[in-house]
């Protein structure tokens, strides 16, 4: 199995910093062994795409990073996930504090049933921010960064549910950006959107790379090719191959990756 050991291949001269280091991750749902001994280095200020056929474990892997499996009583996680060298599963780490630094965008847009403004303010409020001015500032900034401000600035206090699907998803991105997270996890963020909204989300992801580290699960290889710097190919709960996206797509080293890329299965 090709592991992340060969990540130096094809990477530009300056050695990129590793933001998230995953080692020997195993996730079980009851008897089901969903992730098998997966290891991956996620580089800082890069977009890392997780691809693979349905049920291969890429979403499970993603959700292990911000400890969302804590909510599932039957799920068990072993192994090590470090963000900036801190094991997020260690006893000293409070998952609630940790999640503040790891934002998540979900498959379907899921704005809260409150106003556009309150959606963005929510993360700040639950994390103890009281200053109205600061919340207003951050909310505006976040909406601008999510390229939504111009569309919503005149109706900030209308319901978030009244927006279109694509706008809702960008609102969900703004909601995450308000907390200035280190890492943004995206679980097929465009799968419920129409092509135009998809393009907007992809452009947004490209911009986010400047300040954030993004891990994106996608079932669309074309999308992985468009937005990501590095790609990890998952199969049956294992990471088969990881490398620079153009290398994975043009010169995959593993036969299984090649079969998947060329559309022989999945």
Contact positions toward other proteins, by CB under 8 A?
66, 68, 71, 96-97, 99-100, 102-104, 106, 108, 110, 112-114, 122-123, 125-127, 158-162, 172, 175-176, 179
Q: Give 109 or 237: the residue with its C-beta nearer to other proteins.
A: 109
CB of 112 to other proteins, least distance (A): 5
Nearer to other proteins, 114 or 206 (CB): 114
How near is the Cβ of 140 to other proteins at its closest, in Å? 18
Q: Which is nearer to other proteins, 147 or 161 (CB)?
A: 161
CA gap 216, 13 in Å, rounded: 25
As given in the structure block, the two tokens for residue 27 are: 């996730």
- 75-83 and 86-87 beta bridge pairing: antiparallel
Q: At closest approach, how far in Å is the CB of 182 from other proteins?
A: 13
Cβ-proximal residues to 96 (8 Å cutoff; 6+ apart), any chain: none
Strand order in the sheet with 238-244: 102-105, 183-187, 213-217, 47-51, 230-235, 238-244
- As measured in angstroms, the least distance from the Cβ of 143 to other proteins is 16
Alpha-carbon distance of 219 to 233, in angstroms, equals 11
Of the two residues 107 and 247, which places its CB atom closer to other proteins in the complex?
A: 107
Least distance between other proteins and beta carbon 37 (Å)? 26
Structure tokens at 181: 């997270």
241 — alpha (psi -120 to 50), left (phi > 0) or beta?
beta
Measuring CA to CA, how many Å separate 113 from each of 38, 88, 109, 252? 37, 30, 12, 44
How many Å apart are CA 144 and CA 137, to the nearest integer? 11
- Residue 105 or 221 with smaller CB distance to other proteins: 105
User: In angstroms, what is the minimal distance from the CB of 86 to other proteins?
Assistant: 16
Exposure class string for 228-243: b at 16+ Cβ within 10 A, else e: bbbbbbbbebbbbbbb
Shorter beta-carbon distance to other proteins: residue 60 or 66: 66
């Amino acid at each position: 199995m090709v592991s992340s050991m060969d990540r130096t291949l094809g990477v530009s001269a300056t050695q990129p910093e590793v933001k998230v280091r995953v080692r020997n991750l195993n996730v079980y749902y009851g008897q089901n062994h969903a992730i098998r001994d997966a290891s991956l280095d996620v580089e800082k200020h890069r977009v890392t795409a997780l691809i693979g056929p349905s049920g291969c474990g890429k979403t499970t892997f993603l959700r292990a990073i911000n400890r969302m499996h804590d909510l599932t009583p039957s799920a068990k996680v072993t192994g090590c996930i470090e963000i900036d060298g801190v094991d997020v599963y260690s006893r000293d780490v409070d998952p609630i504090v940790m999640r503040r630094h790891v934002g998540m965008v979900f498959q379907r847009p899921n704005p809260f049933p409150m106003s556009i403004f309150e959606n963005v303010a929510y993360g700040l409020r639950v994390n103890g921010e009281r200053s109205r001015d600061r919340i207003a500032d951050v909310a505006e900034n976040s909406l601008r960064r999510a390229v939504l401000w111009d569309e919503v600035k005149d109706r900030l206090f209308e319901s978030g549910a009244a927006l279109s699907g694509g706008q809702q998803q960008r609102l969900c991105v703004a909601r995450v950006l308000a907390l200035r997270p280190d890492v943004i996890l995206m679980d097929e963020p465009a799968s419920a959107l129409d092509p135009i909204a998809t393009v907007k989300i992809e452009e947004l992801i490209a911009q986010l790379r400047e300040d954030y580290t993004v891990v994106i699960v996608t079932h669309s290889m074309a999308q992985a090719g468009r937005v990501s710097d590095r790609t990890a190919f998952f199969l049956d709960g294992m990471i088969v191959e990881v490398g620079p996206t153009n290398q994975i797509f043009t010169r995959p080293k593993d036969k299984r990756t090649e079969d998947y890329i060329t559309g022989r299965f999945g």
